[in-house]
Chains A and B, each alone.
Chain A
């Protein structure tokens, strides 16, 4: 009995347990699955089981938002068509251009494209009237335009017109302010309501509210303006430019201050700022609150009340304390020793601090709500700056501290790239402005965002050359593609073909034997007529003879359409090269497609006695140029040489019949910021080069050398800086002159004398 009961009890207990488990146990997995099921697409992730679930799954058939019969606007269109009410697209465009004017201007409605299509993108600058004083900055802007390849002196040819009147400073209290600009502008015969005009402005409005009013009606003109607010900015029509001081150099400009990357990329300070706090007038709301974030250790945000004459009158309770703290720190020291630099708005949205921080490789932290950042149409500022929100000032320290060091490293390098590509000189700022407008005018040949935002930048990457990024030497790595594995040899012939033992024929045969050679172009720059076809040796690759245009030096760098390969092997007619050397140079070039890879190297130096650049052909431990008498480079540089460089430099080269190789080296180094690459040369090269070859006269000529020195100084002054970079490295074949059997070496001919 007892046992029976015990069993009964046990049984019933077990039964209830099972029952409970059935009810509760099913329960537990069900809820847990609905809680945890995130990625699996479970219907919900409930945190509070009582709350309404996110978005129900509806079982009933729902209609499409655009039923097929009226899909897109087809039906509507037809209907309108039938009623005849639908206006023609052409009419619509006309309506747009009459409705959207002045503050609602866009390229479509306010710009006349026809002049640009007829004559290309040409810019006309009004002549300066007597009695009109223009500021130094504006003079720099105008001379940058006049020195550019866009300039035309014929207003009939012009696509874009720039006033000769100084519109930079429109602050009435400023000494630079031009009075009665309205009347003067309206009086211009070509003004035409401002159509196709570009107006530059740095300062607008005045104390106390600093509006963005220019004080005259710009009509249909485009505005290239600093510190422009998003409210007034006409996207795709205006251009936002940086605020620059009158000391900003016209050309060249200082390089970015970053010399080497440090890893980890942290500097002494995390975030710094040093500037005025305005006691009257607008612009200080954010600056007034900075002291909350200042910690006198790694976040140093300093303000001073001292500005103007009567600041004492307005001073507030914090002024004395702030001023004392302010004087403890040196601005430049902080700028160069901080990871981030705060750029809060001042009187106007932009400040000089922005460019200063950019150059100092101090990542700008923008606190200027509504500022349309400089060249925002093309520059992706997120890659070079931290765009903060003035409303979230107190979060800024934790925000910048949360940025990962990899990101800091990238931001910092990008500041340097952008500074050198677009901001370091007035010329670059002006050219960038013009290129942006040109991109809008010829929309289908315009730069992609990648071209603007990666090295070497939009000014050196010209979309007119090709819209395919893989045709440029700069983007192979980013696109994951490789340059075309063959080259075109271009031989520059200047002497008539008289004997079959001339070096040019030997060269031709040697180059043609290279299995990387696609074709050989002989550029006939000799006054004698072309030799008969049969006099050229038979080769396995096609030989094309082109007669040089005007037989001038620059024609060797013409972007001939017959050059279809990415690589160009440029050769003088008296160059002596073996097939192995050519092959090796080409394999090296494939690793460095953006640089000049070649044999004869030269160097430059600063001659401090004469205060000028010197040129040397002596064998030294370093070099900065590789002569194009035997060098491989990307064919894009032909295009750049012909289209980027000004006529003045090219004419100089043509007249001297000299220096074209130096100019090419200047150009490539200016683009890449890197030295060329010298590869192993056979000893004999130099001897022939200096020896009794046909060009001996040219090299022996003492003038020749002096000319090259002059050239170099002329080029450096146009570039505004010395772009050449020294290198101490030569690339030799692996195993070169190593103590191993010559049979194991691939490029063994290079070692043989």
Chain B
């Protein structure tokens, strides 16, 4: 359109002999036609994006629009997961490449609906809300790429979060049909509820060949250390209930058990614990006498007393998380959210994100057969540690458990850290809650070293124009045996520094620099410096300076002792 406008304005110069009125008429007509053409063209060629732009904001898409894929009955099934897989054997690192950001690229397969030959879907639920959230989070994150050829990690859109809703064989076939499957190399599956009755395997039963598994409920026998990622079982209550953070401190109950489907043996042991310790232990079960309308998952009962769940979790210092048929329990997430310290009794369980999270700071792990002793064990924990763990528990939930997004991105970050270990997040970054990150001091020179004298030191002298005083400083400093180098920073743009390398100060005269006492006596100087301090403190957000009452002196400083025997005899006479 720019061109046409220009043409219109230039017209008279280009076609001089035409009559003015005709000329203007034709030009006007021509430009109208041209503009109309452009407009139509624009409308013709861009309607797609105009339409989708409108749709993107409203976003009306249905899972039922996803293409349907029919799985032939004899389509291949991948091998079962290979227990010996490690990053260096089963993972193709070449596709991640060297990149300056040290960030992996993750591709998500577009959604498809898989059915078997008879048209029955491979999953009873199809895409679940949680998996959808997870995939959206990944696609919104910096990890995402839409270019499959640049992807380091591939995430199928086949939802395997809950094995119970899957047809294992057909799901496996569907995986094998993925265009870039390649025996599962670099594929990442998310599963939270593995196994099925009666023996509940601790890892997803779907044959998946070399694919990585982010699983909730791994045991030490199914977890491939450094390859799989142990993730939490997401609790839908995280999104439903808003529990305000409670400051750490003593709570009404000491131990609370709120799981509903405990094995008889466990319940028996817990009841014995309750008998021995009375009020300190609260043992809840599901409510039998609730009216139909109430949401049973949000209530717990002790005899006839009804408690709100998960709010009741905030009333206890410790909350028992016992294994059920599965090792991973969604209640762990609720307990952390409530800032209650989880007491985890699930032998061989690989705790969520244990590769990076230091669970010893947020939980108590006790072998199952010590259940009768937990009261004594927990009583032995100093109360300050309990508070620390309460805070840490809540922080773990806030950072890594609270949403499917948090779980998904943490998983990707863990894998990212393995591929670029030299750029991995540090222990402190993973484990220190913001309040500790602010208040803690991690000196960059943390090794206790007492450096030898031999390399000496470099003196840096800042000067403006007081040459005489500068030379005095230089003369004095240069007497020091351990001085290795002396650097003078000439901070005056209007004058050039005195010439020559000579150290004798008599050579140079500086008539102006008689008043050397100056600065620190000047009142405005002090005011300025106070302003500086306030400004710096406000930028730091805190006052990093510490006040001490001591000063370092030589051992024999001002002692009644022969001066000649002192290492630093003159220091007192300054």
Contacts and interface: CB of A to CB of B under 8 A. Distances in A.
A601 B427 CA distance: 39
Contact of A730 (B25, B52, B108, B555): B555
Interface in A365-402: 369-370, 380, 382-383, 386-387, 389-392, 395, 398-400, 402
Given A59-B62, A389-B93, A448-B360, A737 B347 contact: no
Interface stretch (B320-328, B489-497, B517-525): B320-328
Contacts of B479: none
B554 interface: yes
Contacts of A85: 197-198
A673 B446 CA distance: 12
B132 A62 contact: yes
Interface string A550-582: 000000000000000000000000000000000
Contact of B197 (A19, A48, A76, A725): A76
A13 B11 CA distance: 14
A9 B28 contact: yes
Nearest to A237: B220
Nearest to A407: B422
A288 interface: no
A230 B421 CA distance: 17
Interface string A214-242: 00000000000000001100011000000
B444 A410 contact: yes
Interface in A43-100: 43-44, 46-49, 51-66, 68, 70-81, 85-86, 88-90, 93, 96, 100
B358 A728 contact: no
Interface in B1-44: 1, 5, 8, 20-21, 24-25, 27-29, 31-32, 35-36, 38-39, 42-43
A471 interface: yes
B554 A413 contact: no
Given A17-B35, A41-B140, A90-B265, A72 B442 contact: no
Interface stretch (B174-182, B242-250, B364-372, B529-537): B364-372
B447 A258 contact: yes
A449 interface: yes
Interface string A19-56: 11001101100110010000001011011110111111
B544 interface: no
Interface stretch (B73-81, B305-313, B500-508, B545-553): B545-553
A606 B443 CA distance: 34
Nearest to A377: B225
Interface stretch (A169-177, A302-310, A462-470): A462-470
Contact of A20 (B29, B35, B265): B35
A477 interface: yes
Which of A48, A369, A390 has the most chain B CB atoms closer than 10 A to its own CB? Answer: A369
Contacts of B25: 5, 9
A353 interface: no
B450 A72 contact: no
A230 B225 contact: yes
A73 B325 contact: yes
A16 interface: yes
Contacts of B552: 729-732
A591 B550 contact: yes
Find the residue from A10, A13, A113, A733 having the highest chain B CB count within 10 A.
Answer: A13
Contacts of B21: 1-2, 5
A674 B448 contact: yes
Contact of B110 (A5, A24, A52, A86): A52
Contacts of A259: 449, 451-452
B385 A386 contact: no
Contacts of A731: 550-553
Interface in B395-430: 417, 421-422, 424, 426-428
Nearest to A61: B129
B108 A54 contact: yes
Given A86-B198, A446-B360, A72 B49 contact: no
A417 interface: yes
A169 B441 CA distance: 46
Contacts of B568: 621
B161 interface: yes
B129 A63 contact: yes
Interface stretch (B114-122, B274-282, B432-440, B480-488): B432-440
Given A63-B129, A455-B448, A621-B566, A382 B62 contact: no
A369 B88 contact: yes
A480 B61 contact: no
A101 B111 CA distance: 43
Given A5-B25, A380-B427, A620-B555, A30 B452 contact: no
Contacts of B470: none
Chain B interface residue bracket vs A: 35 or more
A543 B229 CA distance: 56
Contacts of A113: 367
B105 to A, nearest CB: 12
B192 interface: yes
A509 B260 CA distance: 61
Question: Which of B43, B50, B84, B347 is the most central at the interface, judged by chain A CB atoms within 10 Å of its CB?
Answer: B347
B364 A413 contact: no
A4 to B, nearest CB: 10
A79 B197 contact: yes
Given A5-B25, A389-B88, A413-B445, A480 B550 contact: no
Given A55-B136, A108-B348, A601-B555, A453 B427 contact: yes
A747 B198 CA distance: 75
Nearest to B447: A413
Contacts of B86: 230-231, 370
A96 B438 contact: no
Interface string B306-345: 0000000000000000011110011100000000000000
B557 A479 contact: no
A43 B60 CA distance: 13
A261 interface: yes
B125 A65 contact: yes
A468 B324 contact: no
A19 B427 contact: no
A675 B555 CA distance: 13
Contacts of B64: 60
B555 A622 contact: yes
Contacts of A88: 263-265
Nearest to B297: A68
Given A52-B146, A64-B129, A621 B93 contact: no
A679 interface: yes
B540 interface: no
B32 A16 contact: yes
Contacts of B551: 731-734, 736
A80 B262 CA distance: 12
A23 B50 CA distance: 9
A444 to B, nearest CB: 6
Given A58-B62, A85-B198, A728-B554, A30 B49 contact: yes
Contacts of A313: none
B370 to A, nearest CB: 8
A416 interface: yes
A295 interface: no
A57 B62 CA distance: 8
Interface in A319-335: none
28 contacts: A5-B28, A27-B42, A34-B53, A41-B140, A43-B56, A44-B139, A53-B56, A54-B146, A60-B63, A65-B193, A72-B331, A81-B263, A86-B263, A88-B263, A108-B367, A236-B220, A260-B449, A260-B455, A261-B451, A370-B89, A392-B93, A398-B98, A410-B446, A471-B384, A480-B436, A481-B439, A584-B550, A731-B553
A-B complex: 9 closest residue pairs judged by Cβ atoms: A9-B28, A480-B439, A260-B451, A16-B35, A468-B385, A54-B139, A55-B139, A65-B128, A57-B59
Given A90-B369, A383-B427, A679-B550, 12 more contacts: A16-B35, A58-B61, A65-B159, A100-B221, A108-B348, A231-B84, A386-B422, A398-B98, A469-B388, A478-B428, A727-B555, A731-B551
